[in-house]
Chains A and B, each alone.
Chain A
């Protein structure tokens, strides 16, 4: 599956005039998205959109403009419009199920993002929303790979969105997902405590089976559910054996290391599979942790930039980065591997 267009709204300067060298800082253990001025969304509609819907549509609009014909929309989002969802819930409790306005209810369903994209672009094709928490984007990606195989020549909009809402931050904080002490993202990997920092964003891709002018190709993806780091390591070895040609090596391992001391064992185990040939890089200090954060990793691979020093954990000597493995892990249970081949700039 080939990637042709890619956009990203994230806590970093990724949307317009992308500059990933400069690292924008987190505040209160949150990395909030730098939302652009949304051009092309009617103001009346924009005003009613929750942040997740807004970021998703905003990131998708230029992609759709560049590619006049999209045959379907495939979105991964763990929570969709969580802020709207709990606003509606709060109304139910606070007004004791009194007269409620349905706006928040309709906006809060996770499929509202893909639905709005379909609506704004009059797209009557395949339209689906995967919500499998830390593998919502990966399942969307697998779906897109199957669609392309089943429908040669078609183009699909593939993307992921999740937002920080005050509410899901609170729930996840109570659940021990975030650090109790305040840190800044540039020191994310230096901390040894449990928990990470929260993030959000939207990344969109146009994918098809056409190699010409593609920025990258997704060779393979695999997901597993396990708490056993040795099982993760075993499956990754098999994955690489199956997907990587015999005479090639992995140039870069891009991991979802997130500063949570409890999850370090998975990353240590995975990194130990690679020798000095492979550069090891990380991305969660840029976007924070959220269920579909791996979509930002994919955008970073597609983006035509030099790898900024702040991403590099271990630099190897080879200058071209072609074969990339992304390893992401959500809460020590949901793991995903992607093999991406990046084409020369």
Chain B
């Protein structure tokens, strides 16, 4: 089966609207989590978020996206998609080819428009322009139509591991000969739906989140979109190559709808499967971009699962303290960061860490440093026990 390479990337998050700006922010320990200024909710001031400080109408102008019914989730996706395809120098003909697949992911989709959705779902007349924009598929249907794409188009929703699964599905399409190139990633914008949902579950932190810290108080939500262009070895002569996608594993924790088991079977198994796929021993992993949401449950379980698999885990950190937890986009956002780790041979420091969790004693990386990185693992675990791990390798 063909090897799969990353030939382009695009990202917009609370720490920057390009890959380069995100990298600078990671190096400089920049935290994009702050009080909400654009998004209106009762929790403004109470629950800091990784908000992208660009108004939706500004995004529309910048992207020349004035079609009816375009949501913020779609605009963020378009922003990242445009950067990724330009980076991979894909032509219009290549984009519209039957051999080009688009695999997106989202958990909020157009449900960021809570008030419009409320009216459209409950009132018998005066439908808004967003009637067919609320689902997650609306994002990828918009990209499909804008770029006249005719290959496999798909949207995945496995909660917080959605876009890791999109990348995995994309790689499998390539390996099975069902596409020559895949643009895979995900998007989510801030929504009352998720802010209230996570708040009702008591896992939103009132402060900036502190991944893997003993005194962590929960997660901060964020918004972002990221896409990676994946191509097969035989089709990329002369192109810039960032990294190889060598491993991926998907497993279900099968324990609880909204929390992980103490033993962390799902996290353990998906990491183990990814290693098997990459045909690597655990000791080959140079760095882990952990899921690290900073909830009580996730960080304890992820730590246990890493210890179970690695004995002494390799260096690790979570970038969720930079971007917030961007849900359906998180897997792709962190895949981009993992690829940057490899391409620039550097480790970005985890933020806001003070004391290790007593039961594990694990400490995330907290200082920027350069190093020799061969294989980087990226973890994403979602509600419903949906766990996925990806491995990228240095070229």
**A interface residues with partner B (beta carbon < 8 Å):** 73, 78-80, 85-86, 88-93, 96-97, 99-102, 105-107, 109-112, 114-116, 118-119, 121-133, 135-136, 139, 142-143, 146, 149-150, 167-168, 170-172, 174-175, 223-226, 333
Q: Which residues of B contact A93 (CB under 8 A)?
A: 114-115, 118
Q: A223-B153, A224-B150, A333-B141 are in contact. Are A119 and B121 (CB under 8 A)?
A: no
Q: In the complex, how many residue pairs between chain A and chain B have their CB atoms under 8 Å apart?
A: 199
Decide: B384 and A109 in contact? CB cutoff 8 A.
yes
Q: State the Cβ distance, A123 to closest chain B Cβ, in Å.
A: 6
Decide: A110 and B197 in contact? CB cutoff 8 A.
no
A80 to B152, CA, bound (A): 22
Decide: B196 and A73 in contact? CB cutoff 8 A.
no
Q: Which residues of B contact A114 (CB under 8 A)?
A: 158, 252, 384, 386
10 tightest Cβ-Cβ pairs between the two chains A and B? A115-B384, A174-B127, A105-B197, A127-B252, A167-B121, A133-B137, A175-B131, A102-B200, A97-B42, A118-B252
Decide: A171 and B154 in contact? CB cutoff 8 A.
no
Which residue from A88, A109, A226 sits with its C-beta under 8 Å from B383?
A109
Residue of A nearest to B138 (CB): A133
Let me know if B165 is at the binding interface, CB within 8 A.
yes
Let me know if B269 is at the binding interface, CB within 8 A.
yes
Decide: A124 and B157 in contact? CB cutoff 8 A.
no
A135 to B144, CA, bound (A): 13
Decide: A226 and B150 in contact? CB cutoff 8 A.
yes
Decide: A115 and B383 in contact? CB cutoff 8 A.
yes
Let me know if B26 is at the binding interface, CB within 8 A.
no
A171 to B192, CA, bound (A): 19
Q: Which residues of B contact A122 (CB under 8 A)?
A: 254
Q: Which residues of A contact B256 (CB under 8 A)?
A: 119
Let me know if B220 is at the binding interface, CB within 8 A.
no
Let me know if B365 is at the binding interface, CB within 8 A.
no
A80 to B134, CA, bound (A): 13
Would you list 23 pairs from A and B whose C-beta atoms are within 8 A, ordered by A residue?
Answer: A85-B193, A86-B117, A90-B122, A97-B196, A102-B200, A109-B157, A109-B159, A111-B384, A112-B384, A114-B386, A115-B385, A124-B265, A130-B154, A131-B135, A132-B140, A133-B138, A135-B153, A142-B152, A143-B169, A167-B122, A170-B123, A172-B131, A224-B150
Which residue from A101, A111, A136 sits with its C-beta under 8 Å from B159?
A111
Q: A118-B254, A127-B250 are in contact. Are A171 and B42 (CB under 8 A)?
A: no
Decide: B153 and A225 in contact? CB cutoff 8 A.
yes
Decide: A111 and B386 in contact? CB cutoff 8 A.
yes
Q: A167-B121, A167-B122 are in contact. Are A92 and B385 (CB under 8 A)?
A: no
Decide: B131 and A171 in contact? CB cutoff 8 A.
yes
Which residue from B157, B251, B253 sits with its C-beta under 8 Å from A131?
B157
Decide: B155 and A171 in contact? CB cutoff 8 A.
no
Q: A89-B193, A224-B150 are in contact. Are A100 and B386 (CB under 8 A)?
A: no
Q: State the Cβ distance, A273 to closest chain B Cβ, in Å.
A: 20
> Please, what's the 1-or-0 string for B240-259, where 1 marks a CB less than 8 Å from any CB in chain A?
00000000001111111110
A90 to B158, CA, bound (A): 23
> Please, what's the 1-or-0 string for B118-154, where 1 marks a CB less than 8 Å from any CB in chain A?
1011111101000110111110110011000110111
Decide: B386 and A124 in contact? CB cutoff 8 A.
no
A334 to B70, CA, bound (A): 19
Residue of A nearest to B130 (CB): A171
A33 to B219, CA, bound (A): 39
Q: Which residues of B contact A78 (CB under 8 A)?
A: 135, 137
Which residue from A102, A127, A136, A224 sits with its C-beta under 8 Å from B258?
A102
Q: Which residues of A contact B385 (CB under 8 A)?
A: 115, 118-119, 127
A139 to B144, CA, bound (A): 15
Q: Which residues of B contact A80 (CB under 8 A)?
A: 157
Q: A93-B114, A115-B383, A124-B252 are in contact. Are A174 and B193 (CB under 8 A)?
A: no
Let me know if B324 is at the binding interface, CB within 8 A.
no
Q: Which residues of A contact B42 (CB under 8 A)?
A: 96-97
Q: Which residues of A contact B250 (CB under 8 A)?
A: 126-128
Q: A119-B256, A129-B156 are in contact. Are A97 and B200 (CB under 8 A)?
A: no
Decide: B383 and A111 in contact? CB cutoff 8 A.
yes
Besides A78-B137, A133-B137, 4 more A-B contacts (Cβ < 8 Å) are A106-B258, A109-B383, A124-B266, A129-B156
Which residue from B118, B251, B257 sits with its C-beta under 8 Å from A124?
B251
Q: State the Cβ distance, B140 to closest chain A Cβ, in Å.
A: 7
Decide: B255 and A119 in contact? CB cutoff 8 A.
yes
Q: Which residues of B contact A171 (CB under 8 A)?
A: 117, 120-121, 127, 131, 134
A124 to B382, CA, bound (A): 14
A79 to B158, CA, bound (A): 13
A128 to B157, CA, bound (A): 8
Q: State the Cβ distance, B127 to closest chain A Cβ, in Å.
A: 3
Q: State the Cβ distance, A42 to closest chain B Cβ, in Å.
A: 14
Q: Which residues of A contact B254 (CB under 8 A)?
A: 118-119, 121-124
For chain B residues 204-229, which have a beta carbon within 8 Å of chain A?
none
Let me know if B43 is at the binding interface, CB within 8 A.
yes
Let me know if B176 is at the binding interface, CB within 8 A.
yes
Decide: B121 and A125 in contact? CB cutoff 8 A.
no
> Please, what's the 1-or-0 string for B303-317, where 1 marks a CB less than 8 Å from any CB in chain A?
000000000000000
Decide: B252 and A125 in contact? CB cutoff 8 A.
yes
A30 to B385, CA, bound (A): 34
Q: Which residues of A contact B169 (CB under 8 A)?
A: 128, 143
Decide: B384 and A146 in contact? CB cutoff 8 A.
no
Let me know if B201 is at the binding interface, CB within 8 A.
yes
Let me know if B60 is at the binding interface, CB within 8 A.
no
A105 to B124, CA, bound (A): 25
Decide: B193 and A92 in contact? CB cutoff 8 A.
yes
Which residue from B131, B137, B196 sits with its C-beta under 8 Å from A132?
B137
Residue of B nearest to A143 (CB): B169
Which residue from B150, B155, B178, B255 sits with its C-beta under 8 Å from A130?
B155
Q: Which residues of A contact B136 (CB under 8 A)?
A: 110, 131
Q: Which residues of B contact A170 (CB under 8 A)?
A: 120-124
Decide: A223 and B159 in contact? CB cutoff 8 A.
no
Q: Which residues of B contact A86 (CB under 8 A)?
A: 117, 121
Let me know if B99 is at the binding interface, CB within 8 A.
no
